[in-house]
Homo-oligomer: A and B are copies of this chain.
Amino acid sequence: MTIKISIDCMGGDHGPSVTIPAAISFLKRNPDAELTLVGLEDVVKAELKKLHADAHPRLSILHASEQVTMDDPLEVALRRKKDSSMRVAIEQVKDGKAQACVSAGNTGALMAVSRYVLKTMAGVDRPAICTIMPNMNDGPTYVMDLGANVDCEPHHLHQFAIMGSVLVHAMEGIARPTIGLLNVGTEDIKGNEVVKATSQLLRADHERGKLNFFGNVEGNDIFKGTTDVVVCDGFVGNVTLKAIEGLARFFKLVLTTEFKRSPLTMLGAVIARSALKRITKRLNPARYNGASLLGLRGLVFKSHGGADAEAFEWAIRRAFEAAKNDVQQQLADMIAELMPREPQPNATKSDETA
């Protein structure tokens, strides 16, 4: 079965010069994929021509006259730029013309426009952003929320846990993914009031056999791979993710500087090249690019704004896998089962996105 993905070609720090080579490379490797490139037609065509890929049978171009910049306030992205490549790419999902969409644009705008165009899934109060991180078990740890919801109530975190569990089940083929609640200690008495109340909700689902709740986890458990999913509010998730990115960059800088310091250390680096290559590969952030916006009536994936073509291709791959594994239907089923209540009065209230 062919899976169709729409791509916001204009988003991110590098726009078409990254998104289009990534799309072409992805198409070549995946014969069951079709892509719709959304953006300024002339620009997209010129980039395709450069890559000798302007007549690919599984590729189509959809013109969008505007683009959302990294600095655009939410209101501009939402109300003024109605023909932005971001919005048109999301509308492809809404209209059933694509099964998922990928953008490297501004996270806040992407979430806001996605919510506006696709609407929130029944039973979900707030969509959330889920990303993956490498762990010492050579597997990914799924962490959410990454910044869509800076103030959360226990039932929000509860929903995040359900969505994370479904995503891991669909993407990794794990029957009963383990769920950890990010906290300042592992004991039940630890944490703030929201976390303690969330723990009770998750424990109840666990006892009914619906979720595999491990209990509290701490920051280091993300990298230990203690659980498949780590749940937190968007404030904690965003700060932690960025701190981790900052440390990774610092580490890379120290590694590079110190090996380049003298001819001898450079020689050592040349001889140990294969080790350095594997280190880069294992810790390569590109492989972990592609965060899921979960809880919408359609699949949207967010690439890092600074992604290169390799990283952006990973984001397309994740969107493709999610569509192929029918994450959307599985989410709807699980939410209907575990969250059968009426939407909250504030279900449509837009929360600030990071």
Q: Which residues of A contact B (CB under 8 A)?
A: 134-136, 147, 150-151, 182-185, 189-193, 195, 218-224, 232, 234-236, 238-251, 253-255, 258-259, 261-262, 264-265, 267-276, 278-279, 282-283, 352, 354
> Are A254's CB and B236's CB within 8 A?
no
Kindly list chain B residues whose C-beta atoms are within 8 Å of the C-beta of A253. Answer: 136
CB within 8 A of A271: which of B195, B234, B271, B273?
Answer: B271
Q: What's the minimum C-beta distance from A69 to chain B, rounded to whole angstroms?
A: 14
Kindly list chain B residues whose C-beta atoms are within 8 Å of the C-beta of A239. Answer: 182-184, 218-219, 232, 236, 240
Q: What's the minimum C-beta distance from A73 to chain B, rounded to whole angstroms?
A: 9
CB within 8 A of A250: which of B136, B242, B254?
Answer: B136
CB within 8 A of A235: which of B192, B258, B354?
Answer: B192
Tell me how many chains of this kind the complex includes: 2
* Given known contacts A184-B150, A283-B254, A261 and B278 CB-to-CB distance under 8 angstroms: yes
Measured CA separation A251–B272 after assembly (Å): 17
> Are A185's CB and B354's CB within 8 A?
yes
> Are B275's CB and A265's CB within 8 A?
yes
A282 closest partner in B (C-beta)? B254
Measured CA separation A271–B279 after assembly (Å): 18
* Given known contacts A243-B222, A250-B135, A184 and B238 CB-to-CB distance under 8 angstroms: yes
A223 closest partner in B (C-beta)? B246
> Are A243's CB and B268's CB within 8 A?
no
> Are A238's CB and B220's CB within 8 A?
no
Q: Is the interface of A mostly helix, strand, loop or mixed?
A: helix
Which of A151, A182, A223, A234 is the most central at the interface, judged by chain B CB atoms within 10 Å of its CB?
Answer: A223
Measured CA separation A30–B251 after assembly (Å): 33
CB within 8 A of A191: which of B219, B220, B235, B279?
Answer: B235
> Are A223's CB and B249's CB within 8 A?
yes
Q: What's the minimum C-beta distance from A347 to chain B, rounded to whole angstroms?
A: 19
Q: What's the minimum C-beta distance from A90 to chain B, rounded to whole angstroms?
A: 22
Kindly list chain B residues whose C-beta atoms are within 8 Å of the C-beta of A269. Answer: 268, 272, 275
* Given known contacts A236-B239, A279-B258, A271 and B274 CB-to-CB distance under 8 angstroms: no
A108 closest partner in B (C-beta)? B185
Measured CA separation A23–B276 after assembly (Å): 39
Kindly list chain B residues whose C-beta atoms are within 8 Å of the C-beta of A184. Answer: 147, 150, 234-235, 238-239, 354
CB within 8 A of A244: which of B243, B273, B274?
Answer: B243
* Given known contacts A271-B271, A354-B184, A238 and B265 CB-to-CB distance under 8 angstroms: no
Kindly list chain B residues whose C-beta atoms are within 8 Å of the C-beta of A279. Answer: 254-255, 258
Measured CA separation A224–B249 after assembly (Å): 9
Measured CA separation A236–B97 after assembly (Å): 41
Measured CA separation A243–B8 after assembly (Å): 32
